[in-house]
Amino acid sequence: MRMLIGRKWMAIAAVMLSARATAQVRVNPTGVSVNAMDATTVFLTYGGLRSQRPVEAFWCGELVSAAPARGNKCDPSTIFGQLPLRYDLSRTGVGTFTDIMSIPASVARLAYQAATRGATSTFFYVRRFQSTAGAPDEYVAVTCRLTGGGARSPFALTDVREEFASGELVPFIAPGESPPKFSARITFNGTGRLVGRWEVVLPGEAGPSTRDLLTEATLPPEERGAQRHFAQLQRFNIFLPPDGRVTLPGPDVALLPSSVEGTYLVLLRIEASDDRESDSNLGDADAGTGILHSGAVAGFPLPVLRYVVAGPGARTIADDASGLRLLGPPSGDTLGANGFTAMWIPSGKSRANFYRLELETEGGTALLSAVLPSGARRYDVPSWVGERAAGRAVRWRVTSIDGTGTQTEASAWRILRPSTTLSSSPTSRVTPR
């Protein structure tokens, strides 16, 4: 009898332990090799979420018990930094969570410096999950191993810069002409095949969203087929050895359309590739079945090139007599929920040391003033400008300033109509050690 009772309690305990294990949040991969001297990006898959939501994420050198919560959390005395909100591209699914771990170079250097002082050559990325049903919080850690960012590191893009060979930021061409040749300078970790295509957005087409500009491997599996596609110019499929840098030539410029006047956008679209170091085993993470390939992940949207097709005299037409010309957005456009990108071209006689971008309501209430270096030709206006405008129209202009602080030129004002769908945007935050 005692033996039967003992076996019964052992069976109950086994079921309870199994249920507890099932309830725990799991991640895959659990350990990755990262670049000790530069940025690193890794696609992480979490599974087993049950009435839980992700909260913050930290990098640290040591772990301590999180009791009474589950798992191990960061030792507060060894924290290297917190995931900046501007790098947070995570997405929550049904019982799953995908995270783009974008390690800034500053965090990698702190970990390297700790290692030179005698600490281990590993550090940790710890994500906290908070229960919405009153259960204990859970901490899930990923081990980061310091390496040179070579072949055993996940294949990830850490920087992409696109430019025209002529040096122009926005070339103006006549109908029927071809824009200058262009290329993309790419910095990366790991090694693998860079697979993708060049696309063009024609005048009048709705442009890509921010998520359309992410590489395919940056998206969770359910979103990878949902990105908008535009007219394809040329495909590419090249192998990148683990040397960290490559210049990707653009397509033959004769393929770029120029028959219709207007602004054209050239997009670089990078597809997910098969890279063992970047794979997520969905079964191990309790997030499904199979292997999710995430080669060529990137923690940022890819840049966009622009060229303008205009009729005769378009190069010399200015908004006013000053010659400082605004490109976009045009007057009367709508102030979007995500802000807008202001672009301008200086006059040939400009000797500006700085540019000042001014935004205000039509009534003259100042909303934003940004001072920019002489080489600037664009500025990404944040979304909170629309919130401050509170449903009122906004006008903007650019002025040039010489070395003494004197205004030398000023564009005309352009007016943007208010939007009724404005939303807030979080402020970036980094917590250094």
Is the pLDDT score of 3 beyond 50?
A: no
Q: Is residue 320 part of a domain?
A: no
From CA 61, how far away is CA 76, in angstroms rounded? 9
pLDDT (0 to 100) of residue 433: 41
Q: What is the pLDDT of residues 268-294, one digit of tens each?
A: 999 999 988 888 889 888 888 889 999
DSSP 253-317: GGGS--SS-EEEEEEEEE--B--GGG-EETTTTTS-SSEE--BTEESSPPPEEEEEE--TTTTT-
Same domain for 266 and 139, yes or no, is no
Last residue of a domain, one of 250, 284, 309: 309
Q: Is residue 430 part of a domain?
A: no
CATH of the domain at 207: 2.70.50
In terms of DSSP bridges, do strands 304-309 and 172-173 run parallel, antiparallel, or are they unpaired? parallel
CA 420 to each of CA 334, 409, 423: distance values in angstroms, whole numbers, following the listed order: 10, 34, 9
Same domain for 52 and 178, yes or no, is no
Range in 238-247, 290-299, 362-371, 420-429 the model is least confident about = 420-429
Residue 14 in tokens: 């086994």
Same domain for 212 and 331, yes or no, is no
Q: Is residue 367 part of a domain?
A: yes
Measured from the Cβ of residue 417, the count of other Cβ atoms closer than 10 Å reads 12
| Structural domain total, the chain | 3
Task: Determine if the peptide bond prior to 329 is cis (ω within 30°).
Answer: yes
Is the pLDDT score of 363 beyond 90?
A: no
pLDDT (0 to 100) of residue 149: 83
Same domain for 142 and 163, yes or no, is no
* Strands laid side by side in the 40-47 sheet: 26-28, 40-47, 96-103, 91-92
Same domain for 44 and 141, yes or no, is yes
Same domain for 139 and 162, yes or no, is no
Same domain for 304 and 166, yes or no, is yes
Q: Is residue 105 part of a domain?
A: yes
Q: 180-183 — which CB contacts under 8 Å span 24+ positions?
A: 180/253, 181/249, 181/250, 181/253, 182/250, 182/253, 182/266, 182/305, 183/247, 183/248, 183/249, 183/250
Same domain for 190 and 103, yes or no, is no
pLDDT > 70: what percent of the chain?
Answer: 87
pLDDT (0 to 100) of residue 350: 60
Q: Which domain holds residue 123?
A: 21-147
Q: What is the pLDDT of residues 303-315, one digit of tens each?
A: 999 998 876 544 4
| Mean pLDDT score across all residues of the chain | 83
Bridge partners of residue 128, in order along the sequence: 139
Last residue of a domain, one of 100, 121, 147: 147
Is the pLDDT score of 333 beyond 90?
A: no
Same domain for 172 and 76, yes or no, is no
Same domain for 98 and 161, yes or no, is no
User: What integer is the mean pLDDT of 399-411?
Assistant: 81
Q: Is residue 200 part of a domain?
A: yes
Q: Is residue 264 part of a domain?
A: yes
CATH of the domain at 373: 2.60.40.10
Same domain for 141 and 179, yes or no, is no
Kind and range of the H or E run holding 19:
helix 2-23
Is the pLDDT score of 297 beyond 90?
A: yes
Residue whose entry in the numeric block shows the structure tokens 């490109």: 327
Last residue of a domain, one of 89, 116, 147: 147
Range in 37-51, 328-342, 385-399 the model is least confident about = 328-342
pLDDT (0 to 100) of residue 250: 95
Q: Is residue 319 part of a domain?
A: no
pLDDT (0 to 100) of residue 17: 39
DSSP 323-369: --EEEESPTT-B--TT-EEEEEE--TT---SEEEEEEEETT--EEEE
pLDDT (0 to 100) of residue 318: 37
Q: Is residue 433 part of a domain?
A: no
Q: What is the pLDDT of residues 78-87, one digit of tens each?
A: 999 998 777 7
Q: What is the pLDDT of residues 147-188, one digit of tens each?
A: 988 888 999 999 999 999 988 888 888 888 899 999 999 999
pLDDT (0 to 100) of residue 64: 95
Same domain for 264 and 395, yes or no, is no
Return the higher-pLDDT residue of 324 and 272: 272
